[in-house]
A and B are shown apart, each in its own frame.
Chain A
Amino acid sequence: MIRVTRSAIIDAPIERVWAILRDFNSHTAWHPVVAESAIENDEPSDQVGCVRNFTLKDGNHIREQLLALSDAEYVATYCILDATLPMQRYVATVQLKRVTDGDRTFWHWQSTFDVPRGREQEFTDLVGEGVYEGGFDGLRAFLRRRPGAPAVRSAAGAVVTTRSTITAATTTPGADAVAAGSLSAMDPNAVFGKSN
């Protein structure tokens, strides 16, 4: 059993980060390695048990099921149902906590899974760096791209804050397609190319 844990501080209030992460289908908007995603059977993306069916930019295909979602604890847990990657028993949990000092967010992302013998390091790096660290950077870039949010200082020095939604973000896939720098931590083609 492999356990991968990554954590980061996001410079935005927990409500804003959670509004994005609680949407199980939002990852196309902010995660740099996700290409297309849909919730199966037109279920709402916050319905426990729903399945997101998505492709990565390297062509891999994954189906993941939402196992738990808590607006009270800011926690989401999900598992892989099937994937074109040789990962078994993958269960991951995202948990946010409020950083009261500075109104920021602590983001903890952890999973356990099995892979074929001899490929543990490869997948530990792939998940930890490519998926989780890449995700942190991708979400930070996403937050910076959303107009006016969390707060943009105008020329006059006033703080201007506007609302943004994930729906708005997904209408501009070109802008969201690549979070600069995030892919550098991982070259999915290189990693997955070694498969088989």
Chain B
Amino acid sequence: MIKVYTSSVIDAPAEQVWARIRDFNGLPGWTPFVAESRIEGGLPSDKIGCVRNFRLKDGGMIREQLLTLSDYDYQCSYSILESPMGVDNYVATLKLTPVTDGNRTFAEWWAEFDCAPDREGQLSRDIGQGVFQAGFDSLKMLVRR
């Protein structure tokens, strides 16, 4: 099991950042790498257990299941059901915490998963920088005040 952890500071209030990201079907709206997304079975995107089925801009299809959604803690966790990434037991959490000094947001995004040992380094970089940090960078642009 390896863990990838990425954190950043976003120059907007946490409730404003949360409003952008709480929609489990909203990845195309704020990440630079998701082309389209739908929730399977027509379920609401804030129903725990719902599955988002999305296509990356590079063509890959991923299915992820919502495990936790907390409007109180500004936290969302999900698992990967199917993906071309070659990972097992993948569970990720995205969490926001208010920074009272400056009314900004501390954003954390981490994942734990299993993979072939020789792919750990590359996958850690791809996920930590290519997905999580890229998502934060995109959020920073979107909420710029």
Q: Which residues of A contact B (CB under 8 A)?
A: 5-9, 97-102, 104, 106, 108, 133, 136
Contacts and interface: CB of A to CB of B under 8 A. Distances in A.
A97 B106 contact: yes
Identify the interface centre among A9, A101, A106: most chain B CB within 10 Å of its CB. Answer: A101
B106 A101 contact: no
Contacts of B128: 100
Contacts of B97: 7, 106, 108
Closest 9 CB pairs of A and B: A101-B8, A8-B101, A106-B106, A6-B100, A7-B99, A100-B7, A99-B7, A7-B100, A100-B6
B11 to A, nearest CB: 10
> SS class of chain B's interface: helix, strand, loop or mixed?
strand
Given A99-B106, A101-B136, A7 B7 contact: no
A136 B101 CA distance: 9
Contact of B9 (A6, A104, A108, A136): A104
B39 to A, nearest CB: 30
Contact of A9 (B9, B108, B133): B9
Nearest to A128: B100
Contacts of A98: 5, 7
B7 A101 contact: yes
B92 to A, nearest CB: 15
A164 B112 CA distance: 36
Contacts of A136: 101
